[in-house]
Amino acid sequence: MIYNYLIYRIKSVNEHGVHSPFVYDLLISTIYNKKNFYSYIQIEKMRNTLSLSKHQIECIDLGAGSLVNNSTKKSIQTILHSASKSPKYAQLLFRLVNHFQPDTILELGTSLGISSAYMASANSKSKFISIEGCKEIAIVAGQNFKQLELKNVEQVIGNFDEVLPDVLKNINQLDFVFFDGNHRKEPTINYFRQCLEKASEKSVFVFDDIYWSAEMTEAWEEIKNHEKVTVSLDLFYLGIVFFRKEQLKQNFIIRY
């Protein structure tokens, strides 16, 4: 990861280094937008409360696991610190959803619902579905959504391998997907391929932790080189792909 990060720091560029009007506009309007939105305050208040909770819950890890703590009983504060996206990246997800206004959003990996809350609140008219395999964590996430009065969140509890096909059956078009669970190569590629079936050329897919492991780095390489992907943005901790047909294929490494 350190080696990959050094390469990223050397190769990454800001808005002055990109020649695509689409990417330039996205950087200026959204990715580098420092404006504070009202939802940020509410969700960060909730994060603070969760960070104080020593309440222990049973965790079943169906994914690649955490590099920090793999025990089955974990406190809410431990789960929060090891799994939830930081404000910097969760707020970027908010801005991306706010910018693209997707009708249907899917998240793989709810955990305590921090990133879900950001995305669901960025477009309250969207249909927002989030899948989580660990029931007890999903219950806490559900309480958090209630507390934030998020009415557009639909939770699905189950292993992605088992429930994703059924979730996708009930969706006509997927406009935005955040892949944030089971950070292994084959499952990630498999979920990507399934979601691709429901993608349009306006869809946006975001992948978490693309350099988390050698397997994830390989998965990201394969995804960004997929024939249907025309533009990819590598922000090191997140990878974003687009399917815009009018665009020449280009992979950007963006300083973030």
Ligand X SMILES: C[S@@+](CC[C@H](N)C(=O)[O-])C[C@H]1O[C@@H](n2cnc3c(N)ncnc32)[C@H](O)[C@@H]1O
Sign of CA dihedral 35, 37, 40, 45: positive
Smaller CB distance to ligand X: residue 19 or 88?
88
Closest CA to 58 of 134, 169, 130: 134
**Count of chain residues binding ligand X (CB under 6 A):** 22
Residue of 27, 114, 199, 210 interacting with ligand X (CB under 6 A): 114
CB-CB contact of 174 with 149 (8 Å) = no
Residue of 23, 26, 105, 132 interacting with ligand X (CB under 6 A): 132
Q: How far are the Cα atoms of 15, 101, 215 from residue 201, in angstroms, in the given order?
A: 23, 14, 27
User: Bridge partners of 128?
Assistant: 105, 153
Smaller CB distance to ligand X: residue 160 or 192?
160
Q: Does 234 bind ligand X (CB under 6 A)?
A: no
- Please state at what angle helix 214-224 crosses helix 185-196, rounded to 10 degrees: 30
What is the x/- site pattern for ligand X, positions 82-111, by CB under 6 A? -xxx-----------------------x-x
Smaller CB distance to ligand X: residue 191 or 252?
191
Residues that bind ligand X in the complex, under the rule CB under 6 A: 61-63, 83-85, 109, 111-112, 114-115, 131-134, 137, 159-161, 180-182
